[in-house]
Chain A
Amino acid sequence: MEAPRIGLLRLQKWKTPMKPMIEARSLSKRYGEVIALDGLDLSVPEGTILGLLGPNGAGKTTAVSILTTLLVPDSGTATVAGADILASPREVRKNIGLSGQYAAVDEHLTGFENLDMIARLYHLGRQRSKSRARELLERFDLADAADRPVKTYSGGMRRRLDLAGALVAEAPVLFLDEPTTGLDPRSRTELWSIVRELVNQGRTCLLTTQYMEEADQLADDILVIDHGHEIAHGTADELKMMVGGERIALSLQSDASMDDARAVLIRYSVGELHVQGRSVTAPISGGAATLTEVLRALDSEGVKLRDVGLRRPTLDDVFLSLTGRVARTDDEETDISEQGVALEEAS
């Protein structure tokens, strides 16, 4: 069970409101019968990260493709760094860096050759391109591998190189499309700290992710989308408030004591109990003091626990309660009860 996580690692920023660097109004896009985007609005102030959160097929990549001029929307308008994506796409391209879901680097080229090529295509000039490539390889801890073909790189190294590619021209606006999907936890944490640093330097970033934790860790503002439109919007804390406060989560040693456990929990709970196998969660108020009382009561009833914890709602809970599905699934139709188990075990 997850320990209470209050303001863990979250960088507090006190920033004066700035002009939006990315602004989109009612973007729509359909592919035949499939509606990929259905009137999406978004706005990202300068120097902040917007987390675009949603399951596979929610429209995240379509939104990024449109904002980076790879795709033309059916309707709607957008500006990036003040330039209209439809009227002056070239201006937009000068001001953006894109790092894709699938690490779009050339695996036959070396790390250096990849970055040098990208720099040349941003028209940095021959000398500047070379030095910029070396600089970035150094900074992303790839200097030792700089002259090896990318196909010898690990997944994490590729992602770092891909991200470095997005930074070549020091573009003020970054689009990171699921930058950590498929990465191991260590590489993921590494990438997060790089992204934080970039934004602390004043860059603006739109980040798409299926990982609630990622949005929670990085984003100043979170836009939850599903089926191509907004279903919730706010800071991580605001979104968590929407699904209520803290809860006790416990799992029992045997099924037999479930009725006793429920009887105790009902006395302290401020909402409905959620039972899943031998696990129960109960919304409470009063935090650790309540938890202590509950434990005493359970002990006097002779209920043996396997695990117990006080849990704040995660963004997973937010997503689950908003859509009836968890975000992190490859199977869109998996029903809630099955996912509920997976969720409990994961947390």
Chain B
Amino acid sequence: MDNIKFALADGVVIAKRNVIKIKRVPELLVSVLISPIIFVLLFAYVFGSSIEIQGGSYREFLISGIFAMNLTFSATLTGAGLAEDMQKGIIDRFRSLPMSRSAVVFGRTGSDVIYNVLSLIIMSITGFVVGWRIHNGLGKAILGFGLLLLFAYAMSWIMAYVGLLVPSPEVVSNASFMVIFPLSFIANTFVPAENLPTPLRVFAEWNPVSSVTQASREFFGNIPIGTPDPTAWPLQNPAVYTVIWVAIIIAIFAPLAVRRYKLAPTKS
């Protein structure tokens, strides 16, 4: 019991430290919050000018895709943060303290939820400005935001593990780009998946980025009227499918990240 109490308390101390850092390095926060605005505007006006969606507006269709893509990208911050702590030797300090062995990674993934909440708020406001609306009521909208945050939290755990594996924060950004870019584009984020060539379509249908996008479109009421029902199971049950992915990812990557933290090589 004491162990759990200490693990929580230690995690809170670490999260608090990370939050102080967000305040002290506003440049990082600004760049984290400006990129979603740019994405919303670019896609809404560049793609939105030429992509027609039957029975609805592309901008409304688009926003959930932007949410999913941005939250997937922002997981890199978790990895970069941990890689920086390793590089600076602070992880060595933490590992020499009688603190919980899971606190550093839990504290980090926990405090990074703040980034995700802030960037969701910014994206929603920008979306609202360009014409995105919630049509299914507040209750479902909250479910939609909740699911997006849950998905982002799971992605954070993958990047936490990656961040502890690599030698420097820059490597995290580069490495994750190669994975996160295809993952968030070979999906229904920006275009309906049905029109993709078969191999890409199948990938897109089973891609959890698609399911979280699909689920939030349903919760926000952004599925264009007259859209045929999806044929693939993950997109028929997008919320359930997303939650399954979240559970699997956390079940695999949380223990991996904690183990990596314990065994990580010392700085010198």
A-B residue pairs, 8 tightest by C-beta: A104-B89, A93-B98, A104-B93, A121-B99, A98-B96, A94-B98, A108-B24, A108-B21
B38 within 8 A of A: no
By the criterion CB–CB under 8 Å, are A70 and B94 in contact?
no
By the criterion CB–CB under 8 Å, are A109 and B21 in contact?
yes
B interface secondary structure, majority: helix
A149 within 8 A of B: yes
- Subset of 17 A-B contacts with CB under 8 Å: A68-B96, A70-B96, A93-B96, A93-B97, A94-B98, A96-B96, A98-B92, A102-B88, A105-B90, A107-B88, A108-B20, A108-B24, A113-B17, A117-B13, A118-B97, A121-B13, A121-B98
Please report A residues at the B interface, Cβ cutoff 8 Å: 61, 65, 68-72, 90, 93-94, 96, 98, 100-109, 113, 117-118, 120-123, 149, 165
Contact pick for A121, options B20, B88, B97, CB 8 Å: B97
**Contact partners of B95 in chain A: CB under 8 A:** 69-70
B96-114 residues at the A interface, CB under 8 angstroms:
96-99, 103
B266 within 8 A of A: yes
Given A71-B266, A121-B10: A108 and B94 within 8 A (CB)? Answer: no
Q: Please report the C-alpha to C-alpha distance between residue A90 and residue B88 in the assembled complex, in whole angstroms.
A: 23
A interface secondary structure, majority: loop
By the criterion CB–CB under 8 Å, are B267 and A120 in contact?
no
Known: A68-B96, A71-B265, A108-B25. 15 other contacts (CB 8 A): A69-B96, A70-B92, A71-B266, A93-B96, A93-B97, A93-B98, A104-B267, A109-B17, A109-B20, A109-B24, A113-B20, A118-B97, A120-B13, A121-B97, A121-B103
Smallest CB gap from B265: residue in A: A71
By the criterion CB–CB under 8 Å, are B92 and A149 in contact?
no
**Contact partners of B9 in chain A: CB under 8 A:** 120, 123
B268 within 8 A of A: yes
- Residue from B88, B92, B96, B103 having most chain A Cβ neighbours under 10 A: B96
By the criterion CB–CB under 8 Å, are B94 and A101 in contact?
no
- Residue from B88, B103, B263 having most chain A Cβ neighbours under 10 A: B88
